[in-house]
Amino acid sequence: MAVNCMKNGAFNYVLKTNLDLDSLFEMLKVAIWQYEINADNERYTLLKDEFINKVSAYGKMLHTTEMIVSDLLKEQMMFPPTIEKRIKEFKSFYNKLLSKEEKEGPVSDPFKRLTDVAGMRVIFYNTVDLENAVSLLLSSDDFLAIDGISKIKADDKYNSFGYRAVHFDVKVNPAKRLHLKEYEGIEEIPCEIQFKTIFAHSWSKVHHAFSYKQNGTVALDGETQKMLNEDFNAAAKNLEDIENQITILCKKYAAATDSFPNGN
């Protein structure tokens, strides 16, 4: 790297007269620092261009995923779930990449490593429906795991109530759909599917709104954030109790009504 830095301008400084080694070392440090900044800026630009080029494919994958999941769950739930979906903004994508590289080392293919650029959340009114939906998705062959070979798996990533959700990182099964023209261009596009109850969704949505500004920066000072977390953790216990009670009631009375599975 030092040789590259010399080629990129530091060599000109060496020609100065009365140059001591300490000064040369400092100049090399500056040159290396500038070289790394230029490399980071170049990488940022290249990734952003690639991200922009892939946005339409991510949107297509989201639409396809929503259609498949909606068809799977249709008339199978006590209450029709709500679906939210989004494509991660580039700034959020890039910051997550930097955070991951800081913990795990260099990522050679960020678009393959980060599987949640396209994300869909399915929100259920009780855990009975959620668990039923998990079973339906796992038993279908519409999706494969990210490697494009294995069957999908459910990943319950978090134990704490507000963040609790069942995650699936998926790709479309090529044997099922990719031979059709309307699905061209999404064979390598992953999507994260998240199943969550409305109670946990409400908790995380409100907690996040108070904790972060729209640009993703922290909204509160450390002491206020600590107090907010304590208050929301206390509220989570009450919400979890309500969620459990609603689930018990759904199991108890579902058989006594003919309005399901439409939830009317």
The alpha-helical segments, DSSP class H, found in the chain are 2-5, 11-14, 21-73, 90-104, 110-113, 127-139, 198-211, 222-253
Q: N- to C-terminal Cα distance for the chain?
A: 68
The CATH number linked to 164 is 3.30.460.10
Q: With respect to residue 33, please indicate whether it lies within any of the assigned structural domains.
A: no
Residue 174 lies in a domain: yes
How high is the mean pLDDT of the chain?
Answer: 84
Q: What single DSSP character describes residue 6? A: I
Count the Cβ atoms, other than its own, within 10 Å of residue 121: 19
Output the CA–CA distances (angstroms, integers) from residue 226 to 164, 210, 214, 234, in the order listed: 20, 12, 20, 13
Handedness of CA 223, 229, 234, 239 (dihedral sign): positive
Tokens of 213: 């500004």
Q: For residue 207, is it within any domain?
A: yes
- Interval 200-239: pLDDT, tens: 999 988 988 888 766 566 667 888 888 988 998 888 888 8
pLDDT attached to residue 76 = 93
Q: What is the pLDDT of residues 164-182, one digit of tens each?
A: 889 999 999 988 877 788 7
Residue 84 is predicted with a pLDDT of: 96
**157 inside domain:** yes
Question: What does the pLDDT read at residue 1?
Answer: 47
Q: Kindly state whether residue 1 falls inside one of the protein's structural domains.
A: no
Residue with tokens 């922290």: 218
Q: How many structural domains compose the chain?
A: 1
Cα torsion for 9, 15, 17, 20, to the nearest 10°? 60
> Six-digit token pair at 1?
């790297």
pLDDT tens string 17-57: 556 677 766 777 776 766 567 657 888 999 999 999 999 99
Instruction: List the structure tokens of 235.
Output: 């509220």
Q: Which amino acid is at 85?
A: K
Asked if residue 170 is part of any domain, the answer here is: yes
Residue 228 has which token pair?
A: 């907010």
Q: Is 23 a member of any domain?
A: no
Range of the domain at 139: 56-256
Q: Which residues face 166 on adjacent strands?
A: 156, 195
Q: Which of 9-13, 100-104, 179-183 has the lowest mean pLDDT?
A: 9-13
Percent of the chain with pLDDT over 70: 79
- In this predicted model, what pLDDT tens digit does every residue of 48-87 receive, in sequence order? 999 999 999 999 999 999 999 999 999 999 999 999 999 9
